[in-house]
Amino acid sequence: MLSAATVVLLAAAVARAAEVDTNGYIVYCPCMGRIGNQMEQHVGAFHFASVLGRTMVLPPVVAHEPTSTIAKMTAFEDVFQLAAIQKHFKSITMAEFQRDIMPRIWPKEERKVFCWTPRKSSTSSDDGEEFSCRAKDGNPFGPFWDHVGVDEFDQSVFYGQTTGGFNVGSLKEKEKWMSNYPPSSHPVLAFVGAPASFPSQQKHWHYQKHFRYSTRITSKAKAFIENRLERPFVGIHLRNDVDWSRVCEHVDPSRNLFASAQCLGEPPLDVSLSKEICAPGEKTILDQLVDVVGRSGAKSVFVSSDRDHMIPEINEALSAYDVKAFKLDDNDAFVSLAILELADEFIGNCVSTFSSVVSRSRSFKWNKPKTSHFWGYRKLDTRPKIEL
């Protein structure tokens, strides 16, 4: 039988766990593509929540598996270290929100969902249907809100009519959100998509340093490096799935595309975006890799790719240096990201958001930033070349 003191302590712990943030909460669906796109919006969404003083309900990671038509949800804390996030952001796990907070401040019949403007149905052409955010229309939107425990929303709120968006760094814009949607009447701001711009804004990139991978992921990454790779090693990301070539068809030399600001900067661009930067050919990849290996004195190469890892081609190109390339057997995206972060040198795709996760981490997670290079794009490098 529990002692009276133990009962009191347990009751106090439950009360603390169930304490409601009177400043309100933010819930959003990271429903824009794979992990690179999701992370691109996370950094802005966390800024948005911080400025408004609301608690972020940590969204699950949304995975699109080729063997399933329904997106898979993985708890945020299974991928990222909860303590690292909560040290810098007011946040709560989705499970805690559902169990302790949701029934008290966001019950059925009082659930509003926010979107910029009404969304058209993806399954119906009936223009007579009532305007709404259609928050559960399609995949992964439906599976996400099912995961949250929302059967339906009772009202759609079109914030584009009352605010200018998510630029709450502006006091005027912040006041619009605070006055139009105060926590007293809107305790939960639930967004169809992330309350952040895409691609991310450079002023928010430093938030990446707080997204530290879980012990499971970090341990696997370090074990792979220790058992398979010889330092110093070069980590590379090859974005060459069939859909990527279609993306690169839309390159405009004068404008950024997706994450290209990570190497080209904000407009006006010093270097024009090109298809070779977006989808580099084999010669560009091999020539640049050989150059970086030679300059860094690398002993091995780690390759992450969504399709073709080019292991035979890389091994042949580096045969004179006695350097070999390796990849993960299971191609785990998060372990790959962790390995690339820890690489002595990194070469990524300038346009890819997956590469931008790595380059931001390498720039902000350590006191001394780690070098990042990009295919088809070369900054002036004055370091002496080391011949092997």
Domain boundaries, the chain: 18-202, 216-374
pLDDT of res. 122 = 59
| 216-374 topology per CATH | Rossmann fold (3.40.50)
Q: 99-125 pLDDT, tens per residue?
A: 999 999 999 999 999 999 998 765 555
What are the backbone dihedrals phi and psi of residue 147, each rounded to the nearest 5 degrees, phi first? Answer: -60, -35
User: Which phi and psi (to 5°) does residue 31 adopt?
Assistant: -95, 15
Q: According to the model, what pLDDT value does residue 381 have?
A: 40
115 Rama sector, left if φ>0, alpha if ψ -120 to 50, beta otherwise: beta
Span 68-81, pLDDT tens digits? 888 999 999 999 99
User: CA-to-CA distance for 36 and 17, rounded, in angstroms?
Assistant: 32
Q: What is the pLDDT of residue 168?
A: 85
CATH of 18-202, one of 3.40.630.10, 3.40.50.11340, 3.30.70.520, 3.30.310.80: 3.40.50.11340
Which residues in the chain show pLDDT less than 70?
Answer: 1-18, 121-130, 379-388
pLDDT of the residue at 187: 98
Domains 18-202 and 216-374 share a fold: yes
Q: What's residue 380's pLDDT?
A: 38
